């Protein structure tokens, strides 16, 4: 088709104008979020709406100094890490506050992704906080995040089943006793056998409970990290896994916390190690009419089982600490907001409504908390004794390798699996093997 | 390219035209130029969005580079490739991926062909409904489909165990995701359900290309339905079958979503893509992960070439040149 003179350039101009219009619109859309300097974005892990409510409360309390907006991260903690770390590697300045799972904090801190905690803030936010939560927020002897809430697992049991098995739950129990009782009663132990972070939590608690550690000595160079997976403690831990796997139920190798609590509620399992959320969940289900009231009435709780007799158990430590993004434009305001978020009032609110235990020890004496959570004193005791997962910059590799070797739990062999895991972790950290 | 739009008489003209230069006429040259002008922008965009990342990955794969530790990035030549190729995990992932690809593509081809025949032969009044019904799974997002299949087979939430307890080996307590082969079976089923419509759509296009006169001639010669299928229909849609097989094989070889959702790579169900994900995204080892991705790319290229060689089909012939 012949072109009329000038038509081509006219078309070109029109196309150019359209393109620049689109570009302006796109840029404007990108800029509108960060245009307001006093808006802080808080990347939160999914919960029952508690963090959004706390954000609203703190925004109100700030009296216009800042507004906190929440942005939700993926459900799995490993995926939360992936999303945050990739954004931070690209120096994303929209990340002002983030809810961090403690084992990943060293990696964030070492990479320089966390804004340094001002000394006065550090002093205030660690006062009266349970030890494990302070440790979980510390890297290289420095506080790098603000302790928010601290989680730990308890041993949940059906009182009727424990009684029938003749277990004295007032006294500390061992995994071995539980496995024997479950076998005798024809019931199950609900534990986290799934190939996920939860499996690492279990392995870590078992090894720590026998007096060992997955990482005995950390080091700057990944290949110099000393592992404790060949120790006697690791053998004891493997022995426990070996004895629990046969009574872990038919889907033990895919069972995570949620599947565990379903089994426990339905009565398939009479014993369970799990986080305290199971209690409000059961009460909520009764209220909603989906669970018989007699089920939670039969619930009993005790300290996490012992790996070996005569040695105190070291329950898992979890929870969330608040990190402030190193590339945030408002780190001072962000720390101000973080202090508000972790206030005693907010921690109490979060504990009572969302079932997430506080990092502040004083919250456990609150009558409101005690009314909702009769387990509160036990949770606090567990938190004081809890063992964090290995603190290392290479946590993701360590955990991934452990999951690969220790899964399924039915294949675990004392004296063999630990050795294999140690070899794999060392090879992966030395860059000699894939994960 | 655009010659097919010309009347048959004109089509042969340029070849005998006297103004040929280097065997190409002016007309063909100007058409070629027009072709480049039309396809050029798309070609540039393709280069920007595919060639650039591929070259970037090839470059990154020569380094030891952790995303959180850019200061210690160092060149290590082909070491990443050596680490990968000497690791049994890589070979296991390759075999799992080959297994999934072969099983799903084979089943999909047969099923897809059947569905294409149904779509082609369905009464014209119900044809749109049949087509829409067949295409629905393909419209479902893979992650959603993977979740649906996972929930169906899950020991707690699933209905499969109670509905199919009459099948030997299936009981109320069958943990589908607790064992390698059972997990792979569910993954394959989900993939087949999801992508058979794609194959059937491509084959339907191929079926439409088979000239009706050939069918009628065969019928007149007394060929049975079966003979017509094997001697007339299938040979005439070789190009369509090859395109369907090629596209689906390349797609199947990159399987990721279903595995990620259903097993998370447990019980030896990791595919090559999953391995790339774990190194690059989970471990943040950009160098190692890029090397896995480059190897995956090479395998995919190899599959494409071997298909084209094996079928001896010139893709251009589908354009009618």
Query: Structurally, how many domains does chain B consist of?
Result: 2
Say yes or no for a CB contact (<8 Å) between B177 and A263. Answer: no
Q: Which of B63, B76, B266 to mutate to test the interface with A (most CBs of A within 10 A)?
A: B266
Asked if the Cβ–Cβ distance from A250 to B174 is below 8 Å, we say yes
Closest Cα in chain B, distance from residue A196 (Å):
8
Indicate the SS3 state at residue B63.
strand
What local confidence, expressed as pLDDT, does residue A301 receive? 96
Mean pLDDT of B63-92: 92
pLDDT at A295 over 80: yes
Q: How far apart are CA A182 and CA A192, in angstroms?
A: 16
For residues B51 and B90, membership in a common domain is answered with no
Which residues are CB-neighbours of A91 under 8 A, at least 6 positions away? A327
pTM greater than the 0.90 cutoff: no
More confident residue, A320 or B208: A320
Residue of A nearest to B277 (CA): A435
CB spacing of B68 vs A85 below 8 angstroms: yes
- Note whether B167 and B248 are same-domain residues: yes
Q: Contact A182/A188 with Cβ under 8 angstroms?
A: yes
Same domain, yes or no: B105 and B242: yes
Please write the tens of the pLDDT for every residue from A81-103. Answer: 999 999 999 999 999 999 999 99
In a shared domain, residues B21 and B109: no
Q: What residue ranges in A275-355 does DSSP mark as E strands? A: 299-302, 317-324
Give, rounded to a whole angstrom, the gap between the first and last alpha carbons of chain A: 60
Interface pTM (ipTM) of the complex?
A: 0.82
- Which range among A62-66, A138-142, B90-94, B126-130 shows the weakest confidence by mean pLDDT? B126-130
Q: Does one domain contain both B52 and B133?
A: no
Identify whether B236 is part of a domain: yes
Name every chain B residue with its beta carbon within 8 A of the beta carbon of A400.
278, 282-283
Residues whose CB is less than 8 angstroms from the CB of residue B62 and which lie 6 or more positions away in sequence, other chains included: B75, B76, B77, B78, B80, B287
Q: Which residues, in sequence order, are CB contacts of A134 under 8 Å at separation 6+?
A: A126, A143, A147
A397 touches chain B (CB under 8 A): yes
Highest mean pLDDT of the ranges A183-192, B126-135, B208-217, B232-241: A183-192
Q: How far is A409 from chain B, CA to nearest CA, in Å?
A: 11
- What is the chain A residue with the closest CA to B172? A250
* A281 vs A272: CA distance, rounded Å: 15
The domain of B29 spans 1-60
Q: Closest partner residue to B68 among A107, A259, A435, by Cβ?
A: A107
Full set of structural domains in chain A with CATH: 37-144+318-385 (3.40.190.10), 152-316+389-429 (3.40.190.10)
The answer, for B165 touching chain A at a CB cutoff of 8 Å, is no
pLDDT, averaged across chain A = 89
Residue B69 lies in a domain: no
Least CB–CB distance from A435: residue in B69, B174, B283: B283
Q: What is the per-residue pLDDT for B131?
A: 84
For residue A397, what is the nearest residue in chain B, using CA coordinates? Answer: B283
**Does the structure show a pLDDT above 70 at B279?**
yes
For residue B281, the distance in angstroms to the closest alpha carbon of chain A comes to 7
Whether the CB-CB separation of A148 and A321 falls below 8 Å is answered with yes
Of B89, B174, B282, the CB nearest to A396: B282
A74 touches chain B (CB under 8 A): no
CA dihedral A348, A279, A376, A335 (to 10 degrees): -30
Q: Are A97 and A338 in contact (CB under 8 A)?
A: yes
Closest residue in B to A108 (Cα) is: B68
Length of chain A: 435
Looking at the fold, whether B98 and B39 belong to one and the same domain comes out as: no
If asked whether residues B14 and B128 sit together in one domain, one would say no
Average pLDDT over residues A189-201: 94
The CA distance from B237 to the nearest CA of chain A, in Å, is 36
Tokens of A335: 């720390």
User: Looking at the domain assignment, is residue B158 inside a domain?
Assistant: yes
Q: Residue A5 to residues A8, A9, A10, B67: CA-CA distances in angstroms?
A: 7, 9, 10, 54
Nearest to B89 among A253, A408, A434 (CB): A434
Check residue B143 and give its pLDDT: 95
Encode burial over B51-86: b for 16+ CB neighbours within 10 A, e otherwise: eeeeeebeebbbbbbbbbeeeeeeebeebbbebbee
Our CA-based measurement puts residue A91 at a distance from the nearest CA of chain B, in whole angstroms, of: 11
CA distance A76 to B135: 33
Q: Is A112 buried (19+), middle (13-18) or exposed (0-12) by CB count in 10 A?
A: middle
* Chain A to chain B Cβ contacts (< 8 Å): 85
B67 domain residue, yes or no: no
- Record: contact B178-A107, CB cut-off 8 A: no
**How many whole angstroms separate alpha carbon B273 and alpha carbon B115?**
30
Distance from CA of B188 to the nearest CA of A (A): 19
Tell which A residues from 262 to 321 touch B, by Cβ distance under 8 Å.
Answer: 262-263
Mutate to test the interface with B, among A77, A434, A435 (most CBs of B within 10 A): A434
Q: Distance (Å) from the C-alpha of residue A11 to the closest C-alpha of chain B? A: 16
Q: Does A76 touch chain B (CB under 8 A)?
A: no
Which of A105, A246, A254, A266 is the mutation pick for testing B, counting most B CBs within 10 A?
A: A254
CB contact under 8 A, B283 and A396: yes
> Which pLDDT score is estimated for A24?
45
> Are A85 and B284 inside 8 Å of each other by CB?
yes
Q: Tell whether B38 is within 8 A of chain A (Cβ).
A: no
In this model, does residue A235 exceed pLDDT 70?
Answer: yes
| Radius of gyration from C-alpha coordinates of chain A | 25
DSSP state of A307: S
CB A169 within 8 A of CB A345: no
Q: Please give the average per-residue pLDDT across B83-102, as a whole number.
A: 95
Residue B314, domain CATH: 1.10.3720.10
pLDDT category, B1, cuts 50, 70, 90?
very low
Write out pLDDT tens, residues B212-229.
899 899 999 998 989 998
- The pLDDT score that the predictor gives to residue B319 is 47
Residue B20's pLDDT band, with cuts at 50, 70 and 90, is: low
Residues B195 and B308 in one domain: yes
β A39-44/A97-100 pair status: parallel
Extract the tokens encoding A348: 């109490």
Average pLDDT (B261-280) is 93
- Both B188 and B306 in a single domain? yes
Same domain (yes/no): B148, B12: no
Q: Nearest-CA residue of chain B relative to A88?
A: B68
- B256-271 burial, b if ≥16 CB within 10 A, otherwise e? bbbbbbbbbbbbbbbb
Instruction: Enumerate the residues of chain B whose CB falls inside 8 A of the CB of residue A107.
Output: 68
B49 lies in some domain: yes
Distance in angstroms (rounded) separating the CA atoms of residues B228 and B218: 7
Domain match, B224 and B131 both: yes
Please compute the mean of the pLDDT values over residues A26-54 and round it to a whole number: 73
Residue B162 belongs to some domain of the structure: yes
Per DSSP, B122 falls in state S
**Is the pLDDT confidence value at A78 over 50?**
yes
- Domain check: are B56 and B87 in the same one? no
């Amino acid at each position: 088709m012949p072109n009329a003179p000038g038509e081509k350039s006219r078309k070109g101009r029109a196309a150019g104008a359209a393109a620049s219009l689109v570009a302006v619109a796109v840029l404007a859309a990108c800029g509108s979020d960060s245009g307001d300097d006093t808006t802080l974005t808080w990347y939160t892990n999914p919960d029952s709406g508690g963090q959004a409510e706390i954000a609203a409360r703190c925004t109100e309390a700030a009296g216009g100094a800042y507004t906190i907006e929440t942005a939700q991260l993926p459900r799995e903690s490993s995926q939360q890490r992936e999303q945050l770390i990739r954004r931070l590697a690209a120096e994303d300045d929209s990340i002002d506050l983030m809810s961090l799972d403690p084992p990943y904090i060293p990696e964030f801190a070492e990479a320089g992704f966390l804004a340094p905690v001002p000394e006065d803030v550090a002093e205030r936010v660690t006062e009266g906080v349970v030890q494990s939560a302070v440790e979980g927020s510390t890297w290289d002897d420095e506080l790098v995040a603000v302790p928010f809430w601290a989680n730990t697992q308890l041993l949940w049991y059906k009182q009727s089943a424990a009684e029938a098995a003749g277990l004295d739950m007032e006294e500390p129990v061992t995994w071995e006793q539980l496995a024997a009782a479950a076998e005798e009663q024809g019931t199950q132990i609900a534990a986290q056998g799934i190939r996920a972070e939860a499996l690492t939590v279990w392995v870590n608690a078992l090894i720590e409970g026998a007096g060992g550690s997955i990482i005995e000595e950390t080091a700057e160079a990944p290949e110099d990290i000393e592992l404790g997976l060949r120790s006697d403690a690791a053998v004891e831990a493997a022995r426990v896994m070996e004895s629990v796997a046969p009574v872990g139920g038919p889907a033990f190798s895919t069972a995570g916390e949620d599947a565990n609590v379903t089994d426990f509620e339905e009565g398939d399992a009479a014993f369970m190690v799990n986080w305290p959320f199971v209690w409000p969940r059961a009460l909520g289900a009764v209220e909603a009419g989906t669970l018989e009231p007699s089920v939670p009435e039969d619930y009993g709780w005790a300290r996490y089982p012992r790996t070996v007799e005569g040695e105190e158990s070291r329950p898992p430590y979890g929870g969330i600490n608040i990190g402030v993004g190193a590339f945030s434009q408002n780190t001072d305001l962000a720390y101000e907001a973080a202090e508000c978020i972790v206030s005693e009032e907010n921690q109490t609110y979060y504990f009572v409504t969302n079932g997430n235990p506080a990092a502040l020890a004083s919250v456990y004496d609150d009558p409101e908390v005690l009314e909702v959570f009769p387990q509160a004193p036990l949770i606090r005791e567990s938190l004081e004794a809890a063992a964090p997962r290995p603190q290392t910059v290479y946590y993701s590799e360590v955990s991934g390798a452990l999951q690969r070797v220790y899964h399924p739990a039915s294949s675990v062999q004392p004296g063999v699996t630990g050795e294999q895991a140690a070899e794999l972790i060392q090879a992966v950290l030395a860059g000699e093997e894939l994960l | 390219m655009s010659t097919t739009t010309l009347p048959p008489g004109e089509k042969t003209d340029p070849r005998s035209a006297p103004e040929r230069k280097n065997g190409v006429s002016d007309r063909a040259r100007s058409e070629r130029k027009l072709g480049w002008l039309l396809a050029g922008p798309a070609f540039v965009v393709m280069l920007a969005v595919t060639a650039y990342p591929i070259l970037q990955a090839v470059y990154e794969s020569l380094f030891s580079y952790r995303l959180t530790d850019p200061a210690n990035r160092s060149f290590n030549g082909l070491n990443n490739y050596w680490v990968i190729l000497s690791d049994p995990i890589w070979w296991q992932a390759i075999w799992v991926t080959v297994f999934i690809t072969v099983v799903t593509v084979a089943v999909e081809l047969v099923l897809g062909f059947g569905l294409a025949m149904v779509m082609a032969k369905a009464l014209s009044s119900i044809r749109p409904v049949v087509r829409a019904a067949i295409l629905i799974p393909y419209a479902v997002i893979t992650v959603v489909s993977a979740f649906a299949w996972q929930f169906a087979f899950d020991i707690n939430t699933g209905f499969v165990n109670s509905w199919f307890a009459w099948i030997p080996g299936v009981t109320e307590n069958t943990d589908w995701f607790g064992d390698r082969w059972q997990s792979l079976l569910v993954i394959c089923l989900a993939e087949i359900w999801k992508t058979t419509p794609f194959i059937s759509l491509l084959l339907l296009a191929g079926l439409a290309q088979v000239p009706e006169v050939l069918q009628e001639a065969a019928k007149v010669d007394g060929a049975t339905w079966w003979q017509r299928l094997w001697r007339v229909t299938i040979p005439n849609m070789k190009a369509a079958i090859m395109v369907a097989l090629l596209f689906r094989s390349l797609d199947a070889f990159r399987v990721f979503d279903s595995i990620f959702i259903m097993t998370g790579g447990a019980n030896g169900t990791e595919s090559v893509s999953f391995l790339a994900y774990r190194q690059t995204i989970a471990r943040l080892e950009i160098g190692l992960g890029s090397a896995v991705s480059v190897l995956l790319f090479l395998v995919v290229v190899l599959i494409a070439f071997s298909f084209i060689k094996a079928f001896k089909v010139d893709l251009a012939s589908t354009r009618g040149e």
